[in-house]
């Protein structure tokens, strides 16, 4: 049985990110999108946009994804209008010049609106308007019919995605926050284990720094997930559950602070040549042990580490002391969770 799970199962981290449920949701949503897309006369002409609209907007972590769906439609409308107008004034003569100018103008306008991002959907729709031109009853190419087909097909896909985001969220929304925090806790523990090895053996420091850097990405992802859930109006959270989300967000920030301290210690060891004392090493190992004891999915009481406040001029020792305080804060919040 264990061999079967090892071969076909997903990693614990993937399970904590609800990957199985996301796979099932994608399968069901795409099937329904396919059926509905083939049902309507217009959308059946562009099933790719329907199905891509579904997948673009299926959310693995929050409920509705409404903002994302609206942004997809706005981005697609932008690309369709700009390139469609260009195709029209060039009398439907689609060539390398039309395609190049269409993309260029679309990117220019998109960057004028938001200089940080050009949506892939905007680019796709710009290309779409030059390559999938629809014809009217007289057999003449029509920008309007092409625009209508793209928006209808994409819009149907977005609606299907929003519906299944909401339906599936009812099954697991209450545990999303805890799963995300458990995920980032595991990543932090793994990084701290490597940090201890790096402090014991300086030759491992560089590879350990890369591992710690990846934890920051995971922390930011989970932080963003929880903040999105807290702002989501369609989640049926009660007041107590909202407060727990706020507490879980604090745990994530404590983990981030601990990781910063661990990263700084590696920097000190690597660049300043300072060695960690045996006493600090014991404290660090105790912190890791305490984090391993707690499980946000299977709540049980956990004791708090005795805080031995002491002044030590060593920057590395001060970092360990800060990590100890952050761990105590995590354990205090954990014990207060229902």
Nearest in space to 185 (alpha carbons), one of 31, 29, 334: 334
pLDDT of residue 65: 61
The DSSP secondary structure of 45-100, one letter per residue, reads G-HHHHHHHHHHH--SSSS--HHHHHHHHHHHHHHHHHHHHHHHHTTT--SHHHHH
Check whether 333 has a pLDDT greater than 80.
Answer: yes
pLDDT tens digits, 171-189: 766 677 888 888 899 889 9
Tell me how far apart the terminal alpha carbons of the chain are, to the nearest angstrom: 33
> At CB < 8 A and 24+ separation, what contacts does 32-39 make?
32/160, 32/164, 33/156, 33/157, 33/160, 33/161, 36/156, 36/160, 37/153, 37/156, 37/157
Residue with tokens 């300072």: 274
Q: Is 153 exposed, middle or buried (0-12, 13-18, 19+ CB in 10 A)?
A: buried
Lowest mean pLDDT among 10-24, 30-44, 101-115, 276-290: 10-24
Q: Which residue spans within the chain are E strands per DSSP?
A: 134-135, 141-142
pLDDT of residue 202: 75
Check whether 17 has a pLDDT greater than 60.
Answer: yes
pLDDT tens digits, 105-164: 888 887 877 656 677 888 888 888 888 888 888 888 888 999 899 989 988 998 998 888
pLDDT of residue 297: 80
Task: Measure the CA–CA gap between 70 and 88, rounded to whole angstroms.
Answer: 26
Mean pLDDT of 227-256: 80
For residue 130, the SS3 value is: helix
DSSP assignment letter at 277? P
What are the φ/ψ torsions at residue 141 (nearest 5 degrees)?
Answer: -65, 145
Residues of the chain with pLDDT > 90, as a percent, come to 14
pLDDT tens digits, 65-91: 666 667 777 888 888 888 888 888 888
Mean pLDDT of 314-334: 89
Task: Measure the CA–CA gap between 265 and 286, rounded to whole angstroms.
Answer: 17
Nearest in space to 128 (alpha carbons), one of 158, 108, 98: 98
List beta partners, residue 89.
none
pLDDT tens digits, 273-307: 778 888 888 888 889 998 988 888 887 766 666 55
Residues of the chain with pLDDT > 70, as a percent, come to 83
Per the CB < 8 A criterion, the answer to whether 141 and 129 are in contact is: no
Per the CB < 8 A criterion, the answer to whether 260 and 301 are in contact is: no
Helix axes 96-113, 66-89, angle to 10 degrees: 140
Nearest in space to 205 (alpha carbons), one of 247, 266, 276, 118: 266
* H-helix or E-strand spanning residue 173: helix 143-200
DSSP assignment letter at 204? G
The CB density around residue 155, as the number of other CB atoms within 10 Å, is 18
Check whether 247 has a pLDDT greater than 80.
Answer: yes
pLDDT of residue 50: 92
CA 76 vs CA 66, 70, 160, 199, 332: distances in Å: 15, 10, 17, 51, 48
What are the φ/ψ torsions at residue 142 (nearest 5 degrees)?
Answer: -135, 120
Token readout for 292 is 């391993």
The CB density around residue 299, as the number of other CB atoms within 10 Å, is 13
Residue with tokens 């045996």: 278
Q: What is the 3-state secondary structure (H, E, C) of 89-113?
A: HCCCCCCHHHHHHHHHHHHHHHHHH
Nearest in space to 31 (alpha carbons), one of 54, 65, 60, 58: 54
Check whether 324 has a pLDDT greater than 60.
Answer: yes
Question: Structure pTM?
Answer: 0.72
């Amino acid at each position: 049985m264990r061999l079967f799970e090892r071969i076909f199962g997903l990693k614990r981290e993937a399970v904590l990110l609800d990957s199985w449920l996301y796979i099932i949701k994608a399968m069901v949503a795409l099937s329904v999108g396919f059926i509905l897309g083939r049902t309507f006369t217009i959308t059946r002409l562009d099933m790719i946009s329907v199905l891509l609209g579904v997948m673009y907007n299926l959310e693995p972590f929050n409920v509705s994804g409404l903002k994302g769906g609206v942004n997809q439609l706005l981005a697609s409308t932008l690309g369709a209008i700009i390139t469609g107008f260009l195709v029209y004034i060039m009398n439907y003569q689609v060539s390398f010049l039309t395609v190049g100018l269409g993309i260029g103008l679309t990117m220019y306008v998109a960057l004028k609106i938001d200089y940080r991002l050009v949506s892939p959907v905007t680019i796709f729709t710009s290309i779409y308007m030059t390559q999938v031109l629809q014809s009217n009853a007289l057999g003449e190419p029509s920008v309007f019919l092409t625009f209508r087909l793209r928006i209808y097909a994409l819009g149907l896909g977005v609606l299907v995605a929003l519906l299944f985001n909401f339906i599936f969220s009812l099954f697991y929304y209450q545990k999303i926050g805890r799963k995300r925090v458990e995920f980032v806790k595991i990543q932090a523990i793994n990084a701290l284990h490597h940090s201890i090895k790096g402090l014991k053996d300086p030759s491992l420091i560089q590879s350990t720094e890369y591992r710690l850097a990846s934890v920051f990405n995971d922390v930011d992802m989970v932080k963003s997930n929880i903040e999105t859930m807290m702002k989501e109006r369609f989640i049926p959270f009660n007041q107590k559950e909202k407060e727990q989300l706020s507490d879980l967000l604090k745990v994530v920030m404590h983990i981030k602070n601990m990781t910063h301290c661990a990263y700084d210690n590696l920097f000190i060891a690597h660049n300043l040549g300072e060695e960690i004392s045996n006493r600090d090493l014991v404290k660090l190992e105790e912190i890791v042990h305490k984090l391993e004891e707690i499980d946000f999915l299977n709540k049980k009481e956990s004791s708090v580490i005795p805080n031995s406040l002491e002044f030590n001029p060593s920057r590395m020792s001060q970092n360990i002391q800060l990590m100890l305080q952050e761990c105590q804060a995590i354990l205090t919040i954990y014990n207060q969770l229902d």
